[in-house]
Structure 1
Amino acid sequence: MLLSKGFEIEVYTGTPEGEVVGMSDKIVATLDGFVREPDSRNVEYTTPPSYRYERSLCDLVRPRTQLRQYLKQLGNYTLIPGSTLSLGGADRFHRSDPENPYHDYIEQTYGTKVVTASVHINVGISDPEVLMRACRLVRLEAPLYLALSAASPFLDGEVTGYHSTRWGLFPKTPAHVPLFASHAHFINWTEAQLAAGTMQNVRHLWSSVRPNGDRRPYNLNRLELRICDLVSDPIALLAITALLEARLIQLIENPDLDPLKLSELSPEELVTLTDQNESLAAKASLQAELRHWRDGKLILAQDWVEELYGEVWSIAKKHGFSCFLLPVKKILREGNEAQRWLKLQQQGWDSQHILMDAIQTMQTQELALQEELLVA
């Protein structure tokens, strides 16, 4: 029993020197499958739901290859890794659609705090009550997925003190989101937020994880994990996804795997704990000292991921995708992208040279994968 997986990938476009240049209006007008964000400097593509990881890998790589080819037609342009405006440009918005009133609201309310690049991982779960249980568990473990994916230690050319500046600055909305005890709780809460104006529409729920579907909050069919920075290596992204999927299969097979049943803390205490854990993971990623949702005891994010990996390895093996889970070990061994960039910075590299090197690495990885996929 594999679950369906789909990705929403936001990525910056710009020059090989790391300058971010807005081109989403041209991209969206020319290429199928790409949509614009409120700011023109990043663009989004969505992969269709797929059960098999091999299929997901194709779906992740091919649109990027297509996008790169189009960018070459426009000039010496490329894709830029990282989840913030690493080298500059965070002082003002570059509107992609000046006529869009929702974009007016976004710009006026949040400014460039939302001009970030990220990955949203969607996993199909059709039963709404199982989905709510999954959202409860994944929300409390979301800081671990942020820790594995952190890729934004710079903003405007400066080291910010965050491994994920994106999540450190991101305006989570509404400010307080409870753990939803049931589908009915989620429906009632959403309707109340819309009536109060704390949410502008049903999409305006910007938390680490949310239930998603064709007619929110009523018709739901997937869990959407929104906390991850842009993971520029597709193999690493699939490893993080495999960890999430194995955990969700474990939860489906074991209905008692529910924080509301297993935790010694109250639901309100759990919300406070996970908000604090998200902030700590945004700062120090895998080196963050978090509190476990079961008992509130301190645990290093890296150790918690190791623990989780050990717990779900046999599930991934049983369902035939453990080879895709394996690269989580490489992230734990070598560090996430932010940690690797900061190591170079400590060795004397400046942020521009680090980013230029990452741009080249991202392109080389994609070319190698594209060649493998063509052979396959």
Structure 2
Amino acid sequence: MGALLAMSPTVPGTYHGYDHEFHLATVETRTDVCHSLRQLRAELRKLRGTLTQMASDAGLSVLSAGTMPTADWRTTRLVRKPRYDRCFEHYRDVVQRRVTCGCHVHVGIADQELAVQVLNRVQPWLPMFLAISASSPFYDSADTGYQSFRNPLWAGFPIGGPPPLFESHAAYAEHVRQLLDSDALTDMGNLYWDARLGTRYPTLEFRIADACTTIDETVLLAGLARALVLTCIDEIQAERPPVRTSPPMIKAATWRAARSGLTADLIDPMTSEKLPAPAMLDRFLHYTQEALKDLGDWEEISYLASHLLSTGTSSHRQHRTLTTTGHLPDVIDELITETTRELQ
């Protein structure tokens, strides 16, 4: 059965675009700033290809998913860095159990006041990013019953889930300062909202998504994130009022996305209605269509969305493999294959 193994602590840091996360067995890849989906796809191929070769040279394999199905959180080794040590001492087993990987998308917004307004407006759509990316149905060798179990695993941290609504950047900064002063956060990096302002760069950061198994899924996610930001900016500049949604309804929609992915009904937090997942995805595409067309991304994103509905999310495909073979190692093998399939 597949097991998580730690690569050399010095290997990822030796190469531009790579770093460790909390666990030695996880590697973070970071693209350069990309201005087109084509550039993003090329960056992802390069990063995955180099990492796959590094792993192969060490006798290992690489897979991209929200969780590694058979990982034993009790025996995973943590990276020894002062920041990570402080985080572990503060949150203890919540950190140890969180053997997960996410896909974070940064969209540049130079004006921080504008970024806060956009942050407020993107919130009803955040559950869709989770449903699309769901890739963590198995945890600790068990079927969790969720399409994204990574999402509820993060509930142990004090600051997570949908962010509050903020009147201004000053209000955002003051709220974060109070969280730091209260000791709920050890540093800005532990601000685990589903979306937030970038802590190092002038960006809006989407954090809710599971790590995407395929490059296609990653491109779909990033393309939708950029189009959503531009759609919200257009609405702000046109002085259109935002749709008011309740925080509990957004949380309910997030839970439903984690539970079902694209396999069942989803909740539209703007109307409180249940919709079949394809209909909710179509609603999202319709909302961002003008921005996607302006960017020249409409054909690719609409194709990738249709393709995802026909093949199922990574979680759906993992369940399908387990149903067919009955063996979790076969799920791992398929994840490894899908992770590297688009490198040619």
Q: Tell me the TM-score normalised to structure 2 length.
A: 0.90
**1:273 & 1:35 partners in 2: Cα distance?**
36
How far the C-alpha of 1:222 sits from its partner, in A, is 0.7
Alignment of 1:82-161 (within 5 A): 82-97=65-80, 101-105=85-89, 108-161=92-145
How far the C-alpha of 1:146 sits from its partner, in A, is 0.5
Question: Please, which of 246, 255, 259 is the counterpart of residue 279 of structure 1?
Answer: 255
Cα 1:204–1:111, aligned 2, differ >3 Å: closer, same or farther? Answer: closer
How far the C-alpha of 1:37 sits from its partner, in A, is 1.4
Please state if 1:185 is matched with 2:171.
yes
Q: Name the SS of the counterpart of 1:228 in structure 2.
A: strand
**1:365 & 1:278 partners in 2: Cα distance?**
30
- Corresponding position of 1:374: none
Cα 1:187–1:73, aligned 2, differ >3 Å: closer, same or farther? Answer: same
Whether contact under 8 Å (1:128, 1:183) holds in the other structure is yes
Residues 232-254 of structure 1 deviation map (CA, whole Å, 9 limit, x = unaligned): 21122111221222222111112
**2:167 & 2:271 partners in 1: Cα distance?**
19
Could you tell me which amino acid in structure 2 is paired with residue 191 of structure 1? R
Could you tell me which amino acid in structure 1 is paired with residue 255 of structure 2? S
Could you tell me which amino acid in structure 1 is paired with residue 308 of structure 2? I
Structure 1 residues without counterparts, runs of 5 or longer: 1-16, 215-219, 369-376
Identity score, percent: 20
Q: Name the SS of the counterpart of 2:19 in structure 1.
A: strand
Could you tell me which amino acid in structure 2 is paired with residue 297 of structure 1? E
Whether contact under 8 Å (1:151, 1:230) holds in the other structure is yes
Residue range with higher mean Cα deviation, 243-252 or 24-33: 24-33
- Corresponding position of 2:220: 239
Aligned residues: 340
Residues 252-309 of structure 1 deviation map (CA, whole Å, 9 limit, x = unaligned): 112178997322x4xxxx2111122111111111235443232323333432111111
- Corresponding position of 1:11: none
**2:239 & 2:310 partners in 1: Cα distance?**
30
Q: Tell me the TM-score normalised to structure 1 length.
A: 0.83
Whether contact under 8 Å (2:146, 2:260) holds in the other structure is yes
**1:175 & 1:119 partners in 2: Cα distance?**
16
Question: Please, which of 335, 341, 350 is the counterpart of residue 318 of structure 2?
Answer: 341
How far the C-alpha of 1:99 sits from its partner, in A, is 5.4
Residue range with higher mean Cα deviation, 151-160 or 338-347: 338-347
Residues 24-58 of structure 1 deviation map (CA, whole Å, 9 limit, x = unaligned): 50323533332221210101121111212221112
Q: CA RMSD in A?
A: 2.4
- Corresponding position of 2:180: 194
- Corresponding position of 2:236: 255
- Corresponding position of 2:298: 322
Please state if 1:365 is matched with 2:342.
yes
How far the C-alpha of 1:175 sits from its partner, in A, is 5.4
Structure 2 residues without counterparts, runs of 5 or longer: none
How far the C-alpha of 1:131 sits from its partner, in A, is 1.1
